[in-house]
Structures are given as structure tokens and as C-alpha cells.
Amino acid sequence: MNKLHDKNILITGASQGLGRELALAFAKNGAAGLALAARHLTALQNVRDGVRQIAPATNVLTIEADVSKAKDIERLVATTLDAFAGRLDVLVNNASTIGPSPMPFLLDYPLEDFQNVLHTNLIGPFLLIKQLLPAIIENGGSIINVTSDAGANGYPGWGAYGISKFGLEGMSQTWASELGETGVRVNWVDPGNMNTAMHRAAEPEEDPSEWSDPAAAVDVFVFLASDESKAVTGKRLRAQENWRAEAM
């Protein structure tokens, strides 16, 4: 359980849901440093306390930041690199918003909400990758973007969210090919249906007990964060399917 012993990792959206489970899974696998970012500091501090119980040696910091805001991203980058003495191995772009609930059709979608979804789910990850790349390149690190089935299929009503994930997938492909020679790998993961606040807001009429606990989705992320995936780049992996075969 020491696969990540030399890894410093930044997770956005680490205050609950999948991000929280990723923090705990990375801690269990001995991560050297964890930077946990989201808008709600108290929730982040609870996750930090959970990490400390599992892995007292992990250097864990909490950063209150809104990834839809360029200024917050600049501060998040500076704080992370400062705490980790300039070394970052893994970036997980996990923070996302579903937008308004119930989800409107595109024809009715308010511009401001549409822009906020794209800023949070697409432009935020773009800026984070761009600004953290010099640190990630140094040790041939790993960038993991969290996508969705709605980023590969244009479902009615999943408009701005789905479009942001289509964009994230396209951007991931482009980064992967542009960074091919650098040793940095870029992959994107569809975690599958999970019982989280976001999913409950997206489909309030559905029974959430039908969906997995987000802890069921973490293994592929541990793989992508570890040196075991050094040769894997440009892949779309599904966390609750046969992702090992998809990674080949």
C-alpha cells in the first residue's frame, strides 16, 4: 500500500463525494503530499482529519478556492507549489458543477449559468494544467481529468454540464498529444454512476441507492497516479468497468 510514497498530489473538489474518497485512497497508498481544494473550508478540514487518521506522515493542506475564478486558481497554484517546494506529481481535475437543478434544456439555459458551468468544469482545468505544467513536467507527472458519460453522449437536459465534459475530453486529448514527448501523461476518467450530492441534484426523481458509493471508483485513479501507469497516456478510462483492459 505504498504505491504513492513519493507523490505530491493536488485534488480539486476534495471536500465531498469522489474527491473526498480520492483523498482517502491516496492517503492509504502512502501519498507524500496532498493538496485538497474546494470552496468550503470546513468540509475540506474534515477530509484532512480523515487523511491524518489514515496517514499521519502525509503532508496535507487545505485550500479554499473556487476553480471558476482565475484569481483563486493563481492562489491555489502558488499555495500548492509553495507547500510542496515546487514539486507536483499528480493533478486531479475533479471539481465540477452540474449547473441549475432541475437541469434546463439548452433553449431555456440562462447564459450566466452556462458560463459558470464552463468556467468551473472546463476553463478551470485548462488554467490549472497550464499553470502547473512546469512543476508536473519536471518528474514526468500525471494529469487526470474527471469526465462523465454525459461528455460522450448528448443527453437531453444535460446541456451545459455535458458540453463542458465534451470540451474536457477534447482538451484532454489535445494536451495528451501536445505533451506526448515530455513524459507527462494525460488521461480522463468516467467514474460511472455514484451516489453523491451532484448526482442527487441532477436526477432528484431517481433512487440514489441504485448508484455506487464513490469509494468504488478510486482504484483507477490510484493506478493513474502511480508509476504503474507511466506508459499510459491519451486514454479514456471507465472506473467501474474493465479499466485495466482499456488502459492497454
Ligand X SMILES: NC(=O)c1ccc[n+]([C@@H]2O[C@H](COP(=O)([O-])OP(=O)(O)OC[C@H]3O[C@@H](n4cnc5c(N)ncnc54)[C@H](OP(=O)(O)O)[C@@H]3O)[C@@H](O)[C@H]2O)c1
Contact residues: ligand X, CB under 6 A:
12-19, 38-40, 43, 66-68, 94-97, 120, 146, 148, 190-191, 193-194, 196-199, 214
Neighbours of 175 (CB within 10 A): 23
Separation of CA 155 from chain center: 22
One-letter amino acid for residue 157 of the chain: G
Nearest residue (CB) to ligand X, 213 versus 227 = 213
Nearest residue (CB) to ligand X, 86 versus 243 = 243
Collapse the DSSP code of 229 into the 3-class scheme (helix H, G, I; strand E, B; otherwise coil) and give the result: helix
Catalytic site residue from 84, 161, 175, 223: 161
- Distance between CA atoms of 245 and 53, rounded to whole angstroms? 34
Nearest residue (CB) to ligand X, 18 versus 184 = 18
Q: Is 161 among the residues known to form the active site? A: yes
Q: Cell numbers at residue 210, please?
A: 441504485
- Closest residue to ligand X in the complex (CB): 17
Degrees to nearest 5, angle at CA 247 with 245 and 248: 70
> Residue 26: which of 56, 43, 5, 53 has the closest Cα?
5
Least Å distance between CB 119 and ligand X? 8
Least Å distance between CB 6 and ligand X? 26
Least Å distance between CB 52 and ligand X? 18
Q: Integer distance in angstroms from the first to the last C-alpha of the chain?
A: 23
Nearest residue (CB) to ligand X, 56 versus 156 = 156
Least Å distance between CB 41 and ligand X? 8
Separation of CA 50 from chain center: 19
Length of the chain: 248
Residues annotated as catalytic (active site), given as ranges: 161
